[in-house]
Structures are given as C-alpha cells and as structure tokens.
Structure 1
C-alpha cells in the first residue's frame, strides 16, 4: 500500500540576495545551494562599454529563530540516580541545537497495563511516548499520530539515512506509519550454549551447528561424573530439537503448523502439512532418538522441573539454550567459576539469522501535540547523533564512564557495578542507535566477533513479526495443540520407538484436527501481512 504524502513544516533559510539589475521586476526564488550563474557573452560585452553602476545590496534576510518549546516525553521504567544530571546535559545541547528541552515522566513497568492507556487517553498532556506497548492496537485506535515520510525526510535526515525500508515496513498499520522505530540491528537469534572448557579438555572438534554437539556430549558422558551432557525441562530438550530443523523457525503459538525460513524470499509458509517439510522434521527427530539411545539425552525430561540454565550454573549440564544476547552474562558466570563458554547461534544452513522487529523500540506522538515537528527534530538527534546517543546510553563521560586504551567503554573510577548510578538499558532510551555504541570492557573478543558476524548476516524477515489471528479456527487450534502435546512432544524429545511411524501418525492426527484448514488460512493471512508491511 502506498504511504500518503502530506505537507510538512519547511524551515526556510534565506541567502543574501543582491540586486543585479535595478530594472528587474520579476524575482526568482533562491535555492540554498545555488551558485551564481555565468552571464551570457553578449551581455558581458555591453556591460564593459556602459558606465558601471554599483547596485545597492538588499538587507540580508536571516532565518526566524525557532520558538523555545518544552517537549513532554513519557518513558517506561524508573529514572536512575544520575538521570537528572544526564538530562541536564542533554537539554543544554538540545536548547543550543533546536531551542527545545525535554521533560520526562516514567510509567513503572508494573503499572504499564493500567497507566499506559490512561496516558494515551490524555493526549494533550504529552508530546512523545515510548510506543512499543500494544503498538498495532493503539495505532489503529487513534492513540498515536500518523507520521508522514515527507516529515521524516525534511526534519529527520539522520534517521532517514539510518532506517531501512524493512524497518519502516515493520511500523505499518493499515498502510500508515505511527512510530519512529529503532534503526539498529537487534538480533532475534536463539543460541545453544555449551562448556567450551570441556570441549577443549577432551579435544572435541569445533562446534558449528547443533549436530556437532554429539562428540562433546559423548566425551562428557564418558569422562565426567556429575555432569550430564544435556539435562533440563522438556521445553529445554525440545529447544535443541528446534535447533536441528534445518533453518526453519517455528511460530510457537501453533507448533509445527506454521514455520518459515528467512532464506526464503517469497515468504513461504510451511509445516507438517507440507510434504516437503516432513523429511526435515523427521531427520531432526531421528537425531534426537539416536542421542537418547546413546544416553546423551535424558529419557525422563517430563519429570525434570529445573531448567537447563539453572543446572548449568551448578555444573550439572554441559549444554543449555537461550537468546544469543545473554552471551555476555553467561560468559561472566562461567569465567567466575573457572569455566569457558561456547555458543552456536540458531541459523539457517546459509548462515542467516533474524533481526527483531523494529517496533520493539521506538517513539510515537500524541495526535494533539503542538510540538510534533520539533519532536521529530529532537528524536533525530537523540537517536542518531552520537554525542546525544552516548549521553543517553551511558551518561557523562568522565563521571559515569571512561574509554580505556583498547577503545572499550568502562565504568568511571570509583563506581561499583552493582550500584551504578546510570546503568545502561535502565534510563528508558532503548531505541537509540546501538550500532554506534563502543564495546563494553567486559565484552570478550569472541563475543564481539561473533556478534559482528551475526549482525552482518541478520535479516529483517517480515514473517518474524506476524501474529496469527485465530478467530476463524479457535476450535481447530485447541484440537491441534492437544495433538502436539500428545504426539509431537515425544517425537521431539527422542523417546518414541519408531520415528517414521510416529511422524506419520502425528501428521494424520493433525489433519483430522483441522490443520489443513488452519494452514490455508494462515497462508492467506501471511500473504496479506507481507503486503501490508511492504513499502511501495
């Protein structure tokens, strides 16, 4: 769908205009970058013969100064100790750059569901709000102001340059934009984590994909007492199965019925109703069964109530899974115990991962704000100008943080990490461009390099943000979920006797539960979603 274009505020900068010919009665509009044009040759000749009369220059027209405004922002969470001091520095810069200052109010996380709607209802009391709370629903109900791309191009040049068409596409609701989204690459990549020290200890080959874990699991089983190769809840074990499904990602609200692969540019929807997907699913199931038979995976995962991560912290499992972004915290925990961390991100065979939807962080505007244009200008600087970005993310250099000799960011001397007065991610400004941030002091080179590589191969895949509307098939969904619990879970845990027979039975049960109808409807919804979220 096409985005409507509209008129936006134009900041006119008048150049010095000289009166060249006093007889001219028609004036042409000057352009800011126009250079004086050369005079025709015959005109130049006449000018040399006639007496030269110097023209009196017109007075220089200067741009009208921007009127001072106060922008009211609504953020989420709580202000850290040094927040006011940091914002004082931000406001000094903003006042100088665009003659505006910011006042902020916070909605505590625990009060978001009750207080956020109240703020939206009082549209005259705020200008800008953190817009990632039920974004699509609030936008469609008139809670936010529509943002025109003309306004972005004229008032937010840094944002216009930094934000991709796919990121703008994420924001579309009914073909319109209601949020300035995050422009940075936020990885939506799951990952398997393992004890790298044990891999090195037993000379296990490098682990690049989930299937490579077998050698590590076997070495741990054969040599380590008290450490399971992999132990955890049934969901933990099924998470490993998902790592093996050859790049296909699953919408967990309807397991195995809706799958997508970010390498597929046609946004294909697949699943166990698709004969081409069944062999992929079956191959992963056979690997899981083989590992259970070898004693590398637990046979009683349904009985385990402690998560794999918690077991890893006390040295009782060599593997666990979670989001890749937990790498830094996990690495610090492992290092404190004298262990080392390894990771295998969940990628396609082509090495592709996904970005989180750009609407995960961003600002929306009050439909009744009188300061919309100035707010756009402010956010352009706050998000994309590195000097503002660093202030909002880390505080005042020298007071809150310092840059060390390696070019990494560290806490300023005397600041206890547990009592940091301005901790990263806790000041409510999460949509600033994180791609500009330097690495932190505790980031290992392994993490830095792996993250850079992941970001270079991460794609913003539209179907990753697609939510299925189940209104037309609620009964079928309930029946499908029952089938999944009874028939799919044992297959994925590797505890069935005959994988081929079990998968065939699962497909048959899904069909009888109405999975074909659900798949057909979801394909239609997915196609419409892609159309609605693609800039034309």
Structure 2
C-alpha cells in the first residue's frame, strides 16, 4: 500500500533508525523517530505496568481548556475485520473515556471486502465520523487536498498538546498537504516493502528452490502443485490489482513508490520519465506469466469472487504461498499459523534484496484523520491522544486484556490459546496507526523481523513518491470512468483469465482511451513533473 513521504529531505528523516513502524501488515505500518520515541522493538513493558498504571502516571487528565461538559459518542472507523472480543475491549475503553473525557467510542470496521469503495462512501456521504484511518494506500494525499479532512494545526495545541509534543516535528511536516496537517502520523518505524511468503517446511521437505525472483517462485509453486495436489499453491483473492498485479510489478521493477494509478509507469532512477505501463510490452510480459500461473492452477479460477484475506489460507494450511507481504505482517501470519501448527514453518524473502534497494516507510503510511463530517473534532483528537500516549488505552487496544488474551514473559508477548480460540490477537484492532514504540510488545519471532530490517537498512533509499499529493479535480469524471473500466476489463487480465492477452489488452486499452485515459495520464504527469521540479528530484 503506499506509501510515503514528502520531499527527499523529509523522506530521509524517517529512515529506519530505531523503533520499528509496522504497517499494512497484519501488524500495521508506521514510522518512528528514534530520538523522540526511543524504545527499541525488543523493549517491552513489564506485565504489571500494562493495566495498573495510575491515571496520573498515564496522563489521564483532560487537556486544559477542552470543554467536556457535554457527553458525546465518538465514531471511530478502522479498515478490515473486527476482532471477536472487540465488544469487551470497547467496554473497557469506554469506562476510562467516560470518566476522563465524558465520552464513549464506537469502534466501526469496514471489513476487507471492497473496503476501498466503502471508504470512499464513508468520506463522501456526509455520515458523522470522528476519526478515520488514513494511509498513502487509502489516498490520504488526494482526500486531504480535496478537503475531506479537517486541518489539525489549530486543534492539536488545544485538544491534544501531549500528542503534538510526542510526534516529532519532522513527521508533522512530512504529512502536511499544501502546508496543513490533516492526519496524525504513526511514529513506529519499519519497512513495508513486500517479500515472498512461503511454507518453508514444505520447501525443505520437497527440496524446492528458495523464492528469490519470479522464476524461482514459479518453480516453488510447481513443486507444491506436484507434491501437495490438495493444497492451493498460491493464496489470492478478488483484489487482483493490489495483491497480484501491483505486487508482481514490485519484484523487479525499480518503481518510485506506488503503486501508481491509471496504468502509469515511473522508474526510481528516471523519475521524470513518465510512461504508460498499460498497453506496453512490459505489461504484456507480466500478464503472460500471470496467465501461465492461472493455467497451471496455482490460484483459483473463480479468484474474482474470492473474498477471504490473503493470510487466512496460509494460517489454515489451505495455501502454501503468497506472492508478497511486508515483514511485519509476515511475522503476524507466522505467529497465527504456528499457534495452531507449531511444526509448520514460514519462509520470507524480501523483494528489495532482488531489486537492489529498499525504501523505509513514510509517516503518511499510517495515520488517523478527523473527517469534515465530525461533530466532535476536539474530543476526538483528545481521545486519540489517549490511544497513543496513555499506556492503558494503548496496550488494551493493541493486545487485549493481559491474562486473558496474552501474557508477557522475559520481555516477550505471547498469545494465550491460538488464533481460533483467542478473541483478540496481537494488534487485533489493526491499530497500526496508534502504535507507540514505548509501549509495544513483541513476540520472540519478531527478532527475525528486526534482522530483515537490518538487512534492508544496508540498501535503503528515500521514498521519493509518497509526498506527492494529486489533485484530480480537472479530470474527476474521467478518473471515475477509468476506475470502472479497470475493474471490468483489466481485472480479468490481472487474474490471468483472458485467453488471448494481446486481444484482451487491446480491448481494455480501447475502453480506457474512450473513458479519458490520455487526459488523466497527462494531468497526472503534469502535476508529477511540477512536484519533482519543486523538490529537486531528478
């Protein structure tokens, strides 16, 4: 999903230095400034501290000047699926929020099925929403530029001064759109670039190659198909653009950030050369491989109707591999899988090691904004301050109830039961955006993620894309039409379901051009070149 930063200088400030941010990961995606956030990923709070911190120690007093005389219920929106024990956690949170802010909160989830359409509807319908998740992959920049969120610059010092001081200034600067702050950035720093995820125990058992590129990954899938005929070699769902096409391009492609919209291509080392990936020989070569995978039966023929998450079939043993996932979410999937099947092993190979460089996550990658429809912006920001800076709120919403959902031993988090019996797994609320490195708990397997981050540190380059904020007003109608064309004509190509790739591409391109593709691409290109010129990106 994507991600990330403003100018090159700002991007450099969020390089992986000391607290790991997590995202889009089944664990989340954030960035962290070591100087301000300090705690290393291995540092954990003592078990006794998580629930017993006094209101005074946790800073539970309301900010001075905040009017809490009227009781309010805050509407809080997250992406994904709600954990089974959400009601229990919400009730515990509301006991504290009622007492300290004269407020209660309703945690709402979109589910992962067609989340993007639901997200768009939430922000366009005028429905009262007080807090909503933002990221580069949810188009934070574009929504902010279009006025979907309230600016926070004047609200922060009044409603959440502790939160304002907690987030490093360079991160506040990095999430600004047209000079204004519209989201509270996460401060946990990580890499969220993709990597091959595969059953390592099966690889060892059948002497299959380690997936390092498309060829070796295909050989691995061939081996699974041959030796485990009842297992789906590749986990895939209906979002074939995000989970198949975009990820496929990331493996060898030196793209600037991305994924890029409208079939546009831009290379990291040639950022001012903008071309159309759609309709190109490059696209044809990629689609030919994906079509071959479909014909070999690596993933389901009805993939466009599959609504499961990518990780669930891996956890249950129904599938052997994922084309790509980020290190944090890989670790979460591994933890869930091994809670039920300790003899299974999951392997991971980062794409950046094949591609030659890695970009640390940008502060934009995980955040929370206050939509313009909010009826309680000040109280919402005060509550979010609690979620980030108050240990009681933070650990309760990240890990559940200690002794019921998890334990801490020798500094490490451990889930009680397994992923099927435990109603609130680690980061069960998808609370990537309010991670606080000072309070974070990690399972022992996260030591492996730290090793991955250390390797990626050696080949890091700044993200030169995420700070770009597109204004699609001049081509909004064409953009909407193009979105429908992509789903109707390009998605079947992405899924390998079109028998003749050449004819399929021609039909899709004809429809795209009729919808206004050239106008959209030219409008985007013009803004991108203005952005690169203004920020000295060459």
Please report the TM-score for the alignment, with normalisation by the length of structure 2: 0.58
Question: d(CA) in 2 for partners of 1:418 and 1:483?
Answer: 37
Which has the higher mean CA deviation after the structures are superposed, 67-76 or 175-184? 67-76
> Residue 472 of structure 1 is aligned with which of 472, 475, 494?
475
Matches within 5 A, 1:500-515: 509=510, 513=514, 515=517
Pairing 1:215–2:219 present:
yes
Q: Deviations over 1:96-154 (max 9, x none)?
A: xxxx756333264479949995657xxxxxxxx425479776896697354159959xx
Contact 1:409-1:440 at 8 Å conserved across structures? yes
- 1:49 is aligned to none
For residue 403 of structure 1, give the secondary structure of its aligned residue in structure 2: strand
Larger Rg: 1
Give the 5 Å matches for 1:78-93: 80-81=87-88
Residue 339 (structure 1) aligns with? 344
In 1: Cα distance, 2:535 partner to 2:365 partner: 12
Sort the Cα spacing of 1:225 and 1:258 in 2 relative to 1 into closer, same or farther, 3 A. same
Alignment-derived partner of residue 201 in structure 1:
205
Q: CA separation in 1, counterparts of 2:441 and 2:75?
A: 25
Q: Which residue of 2 aligns with 1:403?
A: 408
Look up the match of 1:165: 170
Give the length in aligned residue pairs: 440
Q: How does 1:343-492 map to 2 (within 5 A)?
A: 343-347=348-352, 349-353=355-359, 355=361, 358=364, 360-362=366-368, 364=370, 383-384=388-389, 389-390=394-395, 393-394=398-399, 402-405=407-410, 407-410=411-414, 425=427, 431-441=433-443, 443=445, 445-447=447-449, 449-450=451-452, 457=460, 462-463=465-466, 466=469, 469=472, 472=475, 474=477, 478=481, 482=485, 490=493
Distance 1:131 1:452, change over 3 A: farther
Alpha-carbon offset, residue 488 of structure 1: 8.6
Name the structure 1 match of 2:249: 242
CA 1:482 to 1:402, structure 2 compared with 1: closer, same or farther past 3 Å?
closer
Do the aligned partners of 1:355 and 1:459 also contact (CA within 8 Å) in 2?
no
Secondary structure of 1:211's counterpart equals: helix
* Secondary structure of the corresponding residue to residue 165 of structure 1: helix
Identify the residue that residue 104 of structure 1 maps to in structure 2. 104
* Alpha-carbon distance in 2 for matches of 1:424, 1:315: 20
Paired with 1:504 and 1:370, the residues of 2 have a C-alpha distance of 49
Change (3 A) 1:326 1:231: closer
Q: What's the secondary structure of 2:322's corresponding residue?
A: strand
Retained in 2: the 8 A contact 1:488–1:506?
Answer: no
| Aligned residue number for residue 230 of structure 2 | 226
CA distance in 1, matches of 2:399, 2:300: 46
Unaligned runs of 5+ in 2: 1-5, 7-62, 111-117
Q: Is the 8 A contact 1:193 1:341 kept in 2?
A: yes
CA distance in 2, matches of 1:247, 1:75: 40
Q: Which position in structure 2 is the counterpart of 1:21?
A: none
Structure with larger RCO (C-alpha < 8 A, sep 6+): 2
- Equivalent residue, structure 2, for 1:97: none
Q: Distance in 1 between matches of 2:440 and 2:103?
A: 28
- Residue 213 of structure 1: how far off its partner (Å): 0.7
- 1:519 pairs with 2:521: yes
Q: Which residue of 2 aligns with 1:130?
A: 131
Query: What does residue 144 of structure 1 align with?
Result: 150
Q: Which runs of 5+ in 1 are unaligned?
A: 2-65, 93-99, 121-128
SS at match of 2:104: strand
Measure, in 2, the Cα distance between the counterparts of 1:479 and 1:383: 39
**In structure 2, distance between residues paired with 1:491 and 1:421:** 35
Q: After superposition, give the CA deviation of every residue in 1:242-274 in whole Å (9 maximum; x if it has no partner).
A: 3545243665763xx22445x459576443379
* Partner SS, residue 286 of structure 2: helix
On the 8 A contact 1:491/1:502 being kept in 2, the answer is no
Matches within 5 A, 1:60-99: 71=68, 74-76=74-76, 80-81=87-88
